[in-house]
Structure 1
């Protein structure tokens, strides 16, 4: 048997989708850079941040919805499968779409890093801070919002070009964070101080 390399995926996209379909509900799988990855099951603070963000989006852009855990076909030529914590798109954008939707028309993806003091997620740095921004940029998603609980910061990635975001602005949790067009509103993240730990 030939050993796997980073250039050779662990399996085909079709094999991954079948695996994801059969996975127990307690496990959330993604397929990033040709590797199967297990996404941490969120804790209460993680969920509170996602719900806070959902309410902010609804108040400022009522014609849009923040879809929690919507699967997206991302990366070059759609060979990756990501499940962002939130996907901002027009209402009913994903009606009729399957589990892994085309990202065309998505305005923003959002991720909240997981925290577990007893067993930190060693893959968070690579997955949420490197691989996912590259995958979302390659898919042409205009804005990627990362709420980083470890760093107590919020980063807004913008200007996707050639598989990478050209701009990344990081502010401490508690600051006002601008989400540029096509999202087009600011977030006062003061409330997130309660959930960052």
Structure 2
């Protein structure tokens, strides 16, 4: 049973207990015509209520323990935040496309590969060319640690060709996917970068056609 179903079941049980207790108290008061009858009915009922309250407290403790365990389970996962943009690797050098990823989850993240995906196509582009100053793959990142993956010139040419040939010349919706051992982490590209890539892809297509 999922956590949401467990939570709903416990709330339903608590409401049922409250309803039964309210009914019992009302029935005891309604059936008592004298003080003695009321005492004979109400005192045993209060004893029973004490048992029910103890049961409710136990159920509450179990619910709290389950909630804490679920919260811990949800937080104990791989998580990455990142950005993608142009970077200058040395003085006077043309800006290179770079992806910076920072681990912000409790579990260490082992980054294995990078790829580009677009809603314009079912194909993806695996990045295989990296600058010599780029972080080497695979790499394991603990909480707060970062890695910078700098694409080499052939990788940028492949990306421009991917946009031109498979994405209808559009970089809208294009994203970097950082693949780790357990999951994929999406990094959206900023608008100015997608615009620049579209312009460069269009220019490269014209240059290729002219050859």
TM-score w.r.t. length of structure 1: 0.23
The structure whose residues are more often strand, as a share, is 1
Give the structure with higher Rg (CA): 2
TM-score w.r.t. length of structure 2: 0.22
The structure whose residues are more often helix, as a share, is 2
Greater relative CO (CA pairs within 8 A, separation 6+):
2
